[in-house]
Amino acid sequence: MSLAETHIYLVVRRHVDLGRTRSAMCRPS
């Protein structure tokens, strides 16, 4: 993996994690 690919992967993963956390906070399971 190139540096750019790694950076994009980390940014996307962080966005997904933030989305999950926000969803869990909005409506707790």
Tell me which H or E stretch contains 26. Answer: helix 3-26
Each residue's pLDDT tens digit in the chain (29 positions)? Answer: 799 999 999 999 999 998 888 887 776 65
The model's pTM:
0.56
pLDDT for the residue 29:
57
pLDDT for the residue 12:
94
How many angstroms separate the first and last alpha carbons of the chain?
36
pLDDT for the residue 28:
63
What does the buried/exposed string (b/e) look like for 12-24 if buried means 16 or more CB atoms within 10 Å of the residue's CB? eeeeeeeeeeeee
pLDDT for the residue 19:
86
